[in-house]
Amino acid sequence: MLFRSTHRGTFENDLMFGGFVRAHLTRFTDDELDALEALLDIPDVDLADWLTGRRPIPPEDASPMLLRIKDSLPK
């Protein structure tokens, strides 16, 4: 999980997504790990745009884990 989250394909996502995973990995439950796994399927462009606020997260993609990652980032 850590490798995949820090080697997303873009440095921006490696820092945002990977940094979140690195900081919390040892405390995630199995359900949270499953939620993170699902986020790994999101294309890098969409993930970066949503996490940086360049585009709003569509309601159908606004999972609790994605919102948690976005909320953890500096404003």
> Does the pLDDT at position 1 exceed 90?
no
- In this prediction, residues 16-27 reach a mean pLDDT of 95
Distance CA 57, CA 49 (A): 8
pLDDT tens, residue by residue, 35-46 = 999 999 999 999
Mean pLDDT of the residues in the chain: 94
Q: What residue segments make up the domains of the chain, in order of their start?
A: 2-72
In this predicted structure, what is the pLDDT of residue 48? 94
pTM of the entire predicted model: 0.90
Reported as a pLDDT band with limits 50, 70 and 90, residue 75 is confident
Which superfamily does 2-72 belong to? Flavinator of succinate dehydrogenase (1.10.150.250)
Buried b (16+ CB within 10 A) or exposed e, 32-53: eeebbeebeebeeeebbebbee
